[in-house]
Amino acid sequence: MSKKRSIGWLRNTKSIVLLGLENAGKTTLLSQWVRGSTSKTTTTIGLDIEHVEVGSEIFNLIDLGGQQPFRMTLWKTYAQMASAIIFVFDITDQAKTSNAVKWFWQVAEWVPDNVPIMFCANKIDLKKGNEKIAMSLEEIITNFNLKKFGSDEARHSFRIYEISALTGENVEVAMSWLLSRLQVSEKSPDLRKLVIAKSDGTIVTEISFINPTELNADTMEINEILELNKNITTKQNTMQFYESNNSIKFLVMSSDYVCILSARKDADFNSVRIVAETILSMYLTQVSDGTFDETLFRELIVNNFGKTLT
Ligand SMILES: Nc1nc2c(ncn2[C@@H]2O[C@H](COP(=O)(O)OP(=O)(O)OP(=O)(O)O)[C@@H](O)[C@H]2O)c(=O)[nH]1
Ligand SMILES: [Mg+2]
C-alpha cells in the first residue's frame, strides 16, 4: 500500500520559515528541534511542513528546499508570508559563501518589516580540532555584513547563533530566542519604564521608553515596589503583578536581582511578563559571562523591545 504524505498546512497560523542553500542543514535542524533527534536526510524537494506547539500556540514550520530551482519561486512566496525566518548557513562550505550572502540579503529584502530573522551558523561540531575548514563568527559577520542589523535603520530584530543541528548544541537557546521574538513582535506591550535592581534595592539599570517627564508616577510606584521587596531572598524566581491608574507593572526576581517592567495599562499581560523575563535573563547572562556593558545593554533593550513605540 502506498503511503501518501500529507502536508498539514494550518491556515491562520504563524509560520516559521527555514531558508538556506542546499545541504546547509535545515531539515536536520528541524528534526533536532521538533524531535530532539536526527536521522539521515535526503535533499528536500519543494518543501516540508511540520508543526510545533509552544504554550497554547501552534506554529507552522516550513522547511524549504535549498536548491536553485526552489529559491526564486518558493523562497519568495514563503519569505513574504513568514512570521519569523531561520537562515541556515553551513560554516564549512566556503565555496558557496558568496552565493549564500547574495541569497541571504535577497531574503532579508523579501521579508516584511519587523519579522525576526535568526541566522544559524551551522555545523560547529566540525570546527573542533579542525579550525581551518570552518568559518569563524567574525568571518561570517564580515562576509555577510551582519553588522547592518545593529544600525538604526534595521527593519528586523536579528540574532546570530552558532549551532550544530546534528548534535543539538545551542539549538534550544536559539529557538527560545526566536519564539520569544515571535510572541513579543505580535503584541507590542508598549513599554514605559524598566528598572533592574539588586535584591537590596540598589538600582543597577534604568531605562525610560517614553518621555521621562511622563514617568513620575511610574518611578514612585517602582520605588515603592522595590522597597516592599527589599532583601526578600526567599522570593527567588517569583513574579508579581501590580496595577495602577495608567500602567501595569511586572516584577520578576532571579539570582538576587529584581526586574520591574512598567507597561501601558491596556498592554497584554503575558507579553509584559515574557519581556520582563527575557530582559532579566539577558542581563543575568551578560553579568555572569562578564560581557555586560551598560550602554550596549540599553541599546539592545531599546532596539529589541522599544522599537514599536511611537
Ligand atoms: N557535521 C554536521 N553535519 C550536519 C549538520 N547539520 C546537517 N548536517 C549534514 O548535512 C547534510 C545536509 O543536511 P540537510 O538537513 O539535509 O540539509 P538541507 O539544508 O535541508 O538541504 P536541502 O534540503 O537540500 O536544502 C546531511 O548529511 C546532514 O547530516 C551539523 O550540524 N553537523
Ligand atoms: Mg532539506
pLDDT digits over 3-33, tens only?
Answer: 333 345 555 578 899 999 999 999 999 999 9
- Please report the domains of the chain, with CATH numbers, ordered by start residue: 4-183 (3.40.50.300), 191-305 (3.30.450.50)
Report yes or no on whether pTM surpasses 0.85.
no
Q: Is the CB of 23 under 6 A from ligand 1?
A: yes
Residues 6 or more apart whose CB falls under 8 angstroms from that of 77 comprise none
Average pLDDT value for residue range 119-146: 91
Q: Is the CB of 166 under 6 A from ligand 1?
A: yes
257-293: pLDDT as tens digits: 999 999 988 777 767 887 888 788 888 888 888 888 8
Burial bucket for residue 119 (CB in 10 Å: 0-12, 13-18, 19+): buried
Q: Is the CB of 127 under 6 A from ligand 1?
A: no
Q: How is residue 131 written as a grid cell?
A: 579550525
Q: Is the CB of 31 under 6 A from ligand 1?
A: no
Residues 6 or more apart whose CB falls under 8 angstroms from that of 307 comprise 114, 157
Q: Is the CB of 189 under 6 A from ligand 1?
A: no
Among 230, 226, 221, 293, which residue's Cα sits nearest to residue 262? 221
Residues 6 or more apart whose CB falls under 8 angstroms from that of 197 comprise 203, 204, 226, 257, 258, 260
Residue 122 alpha carbon to ligand 1 centre in Å = 9
Q: Relative to the CA of 24, which ligand 1 atom is closest?
A: 19
Q: Half-sphere exposure of residue 73, counting CA atoms within 13 Å on the CB side? A: 8
Distances from the Cα of 74 to the Cα of 28, 77, 223, 278, angstroms: 20, 5, 53, 34
Burial bucket for residue 63 (CB in 10 Å: 0-12, 13-18, 19+): buried
255 or 94, which is more confident: 94
Q: Report the percent of the chain where pLDDT is more than 70.
A: 88
Residue 14 alpha carbon to ligand 1 centre in Å = 25
Q: Which of 18, 19, 27, 162 to mutate to test the pocket of ligand 1 (most atoms within 8 A of CB)?
A: 27
For residue 62, the model assigns a pLDDT of: 92
51-104: pLDDT as tens digits: 887 766 788 899 999 999 999 888 998 898 889 999 999 999 999 999 999 999
For residue 237, the model assigns a pLDDT of: 63
CA distance 159 to 100: 17
- Mean pLDDT highest for which of 178-187, 234-243, 283-292, 299-308? 283-292
Q: Is the CB of 122 under 6 A from ligand 1?
A: yes
The residue contributing the CA closest to ligand 1 atom 7 is: 25
Q: Relative to the CA of 20, which ligand 1 atom is closest?
A: 19
